[in-house]
Amino acid sequence: MPGEGKMARPSKIRNVLFQFLDRMKITDLKTYLVGADEGAAADRPRGRNWLFLKIFTDEGVAGVGEGGGWPEIVEKGIHELKPFLVGENPFDIERLWHKLYHLLHGHGVTGAVRGGALSAVDMALWDVKGRALGVPVYELLGGKVRDAVPVYGHANTPEQALELRHAGYKAFKCRPQVQTLRALREAVGDTMEIGVHCHAQFTPASAVQLGRAIEPYRPIFLEDPVIPEDVTAFAHVAERVGVPLATGERFATKWAFTELLSRKLVALVQPETTRLGGITELKKLAAFAEAHCVKVAPHDGSVGPVVEMANVHVLAAIPNAFYLEHRYRDVPWRYEVAPGAVPEKNGVIAVSSAPGLGLDIDEGAAARHPPRKAEDYRYEYPAPDQTMRLDTGWK
């Protein structure tokens, strides 16, 4: 047959497209710091804020990303990186990730600050690439394995849990109190999965007591019962408790998960994608977790709509996705500042087929919600005797 055994020749259109992509250059970066708090109380300086980034190119294609960790500081870091990105080809995502990572290496292990800057840039580059090619990001990651991503919420009272169930949720997590978990399980029965989040507040001994006490109520995971950086402490709990352990939101690199995964100490990883290093690193961590039979449920409780869409695209393209954390009742302007972001409906977020990440930044809406001053808040944070608890979490 004609052409048998030969590779098809690329069309002229494809050649033009590749030349266009090969010539594309980054021309500018712009950041948007958006207030995401309505209340008077806060647990961090200036409360909860979102940091969005837009990367512009000479071909008129722009992409958006989101950086976390410490948004106000990360924003400054992103602008320090601008001279090292302008003039680069935005398609070289892996190379640019390593360039920026090593460029910042001289500052030491800056954790979430370096991770936040890398994450914002990385997401925006994936968005540029998807938009330029006219395909959603999940297609660049291997294609879809699911059309919607299930989310889990937060509830500490039976009323809150039943509200989530009425909204279509199949899972939520609660504070580490035995009585709370018992009341929640009695309220929802076996119709919902319940996780328990400890914020690393317990000693290894008390975490074991807590874990054993909640076993009868069948929690789906016990998150950060001890300081996750202390792998020995995690192992102490994992070997003595029948509840699957989970961790990840505090980590700023994929390497932080290495020993926990290789020693089979966790059943679920919960990376914060705005700290981890973006889509590139989340996809790599998911593959590493899959090799160890571990599920992925990204942290998403305090961050914004841009990273939520990035998480959705990755979770749509991996086999070991579990749930995506989601704030059920967020500030009213969540979707106003990011048109195109897909809201949760009936406990899932549908995977958009729009090019790139499928959303944009509304500059006017972002400007209408600036961060508040530090002195505008009443601050609440754990006292020293609450950070290494010896109680069992009964009350």
Q: CA-CA distances (angstroms) from residue 127 to 63, 117, 123?
A: 5, 16, 6
Contact, 114 vs 252, CB < 8 A? yes
Identity (one letter) of the amino acid at 219? P
Residue 347: which of 148, 126, 128, 71 has the closest Cα? Answer: 148
CA gap 284, 165 in Å, rounded: 33
Through-space distance between the first and last CA atoms of the chain, rounded to whole angstroms: 77
Q: Residue 34's beta-bridge partner residues?
A: 50
Structure tokens given for 6: 């030969």
CA gap 345, 316 in Å, rounded: 16
Query: Known catalytic residue: 107?
Result: no
Structure tokens given for 200: 């690393």
Catalytic residue, from 299, 313, 326, 369: name it.
299
Helix/strand/coil percentages in the chain, nearest 5: 40, 15, 45
CA gap 301, 311 in Å, rounded: 12
Structure tokens given for 339: 């048109």
| Tally of CB atoms within 10 A around 168 | 13
SS3 of 52, please? strand
Residues with Cβ within 8 Å of 178's Cβ and at least 6 positions away in sequence, in order, are 210, 213, 214, 392, 393, 394
State the Cα torsion 70-71-76-82 to the nearest 10°.
Answer: 120
Residues with Cβ within 8 Å of 86's Cβ and at least 6 positions away in sequence, in order, are 25, 26, 27, 28, 29
Sole residue written with tokens 């069992």: 392
Query: Known catalytic residue: 326?
Result: no
Residue 378: which of 72, 126, 46, 40 has the closest Cα? Answer: 40
CA gap 214, 243 in Å, rounded: 8
> What does residue 302 show for φ and ψ, rounded to 5 degrees?
-120, -5
| Tally of CB atoms within 10 A around 221 | 24
Active-site amino acid positions: 199, 299
